[in-house]
Amino acid sequence: MAMSKSTNTYNRQNWEDSDFPILCQTCLGDNPYIRMTKEKYGKECKICCRPFTVFRWCPGSRMRFKKTEICQTCSKLKNVCQTCLLDLEYGLPIQVRDAALKIQDDLPRNEVNKEYYIQNLDSQMSKFDPTQPSNSALKSKGASDLLLRLARTAPYYKRNRPHVCSFWVKGECRRGEECPYRHEKPTDPDDPLADQNIKDRYYGVNDPVAEKLMRRAAAMPALPPPEDRTVTTLYIGNLPDNVTEDELRGHFYQYGEIRCLTLVPRAQCAFVQYTTRSAAEHAAEKTFNRLVIGGKRLTIKWGKSQGRQGVNEKSDMPALEPVPGLPGALPPPPPAFLHPFPPQMPPPPNRPNDFFNLQHYAGPGWGWAPPPGLHYPSQDPARLGAHAHANAPQT
């Protein structure tokens, strides 16, 4: 029986052959000694339908095997990973990146036009640097505030976990710990994140992950400046362990003149004080939820006013509701207890401490004399250690 042949069957010179895939750090994994299998012209690209070289590998222990899904031409056209289709620079979906950079997608959707467009693009990319994205819009656009807030700063290896074991969900898995799949409860099948189309993700339309990130960006908190205009200090938290004062000063001096910078390595924080309020507001606006040093996103807050610090701390305390079932507050004490000495008891005289009553033998130079008639025989030095019968009066 005769089989119909597509145009790609006759255009073998346009098939893609590569030695290494274009991957993000998350899909590549944390294993530096990774091993890959290479299958020349193993599958068709899910975007342009041209055969390409397929790579398959395991990112790490207890991870599922991954493989490339699109060809390198389509990957360079959008500057995305061949496996997860996320942006190589920010780790975000194409829809989020294009919305932040205001890039219009002009790729053809028709199969014939798409094939012609990809072939012409292949010939153009062979004349330029293969490590750079072929889309001129991505080269000219700089990073926007939305991308800096949503960009992932570290690899997310949790995305490489195995799939959920369907036999375990039915209660029929007998492999136990040797099962290569996860024994966890699956997600809700009605969840929109569970139904994703790879073409929609590539063209940046109807992507549920992108819509979730856009809603998160809209709900992100802002950093309003304090009412006290004398506050020009910013608190910088979540600092890396090896950060230096010169490195922080190099990041913050571009927003204005710095009066002083105090680094507290033990608490992993710093305080940056500017000479003007406008410079501090400019630095807070440009660095809030955007500044990343040493792979860690820094925490930016306004410093507290020294004059109103105690007042702000008291006013920020929320009013607590009384616990039901407990007795009420005690009545106030009577006025007699509020006075240090009751009216019927006079205060003690203002005199020096005389616990052992030795002022009696000090002489007139002490300025105080014991009251007359006050004598304790037990304090007489002449009678210390004497027997009672020896000191008894003779008759």
The whole-angstrom distance between residue 371's C-alpha and the CA centroid of its chain comes to: 77
Please give the model's pTM, rounded to 2 decimal places. 0.58
Which parts of the chain have pLDDT scores under 50?
Answer: 1-8, 10, 140, 311-315, 362
In tens, the pLDDT along 297-350 reads 888 999 886 655 554 444 455 666 766 766 766 777 666 555 555 555 565 665
In tens, the pLDDT along 134-144 reads 555 555 455 66
Q: Are 85 and 201 in contact (CB under 8 A)?
A: yes
- Please report the sign of the dihedral spanned by the C-alpha atoms of residue 18, residue 20, residue 21, residue 22: negative
The H or E element that residue 78 is part of is helix 72-78
Write the single-letter amino acid at 173: C
Write the single-letter amino acid at 6: S
What is the per-residue pLDDT for 339? Answer: 56
Nearest to 380 by CA among 364, 354, 360: 360
Delineate the domains of the chain, giving CATH numbers in brackets.
14-220 (no CATH), 233-302 (3.30.70.330)
Write the single-letter amino acid at 45: C
The H or E element that residue 168 is part of is helix 166-170
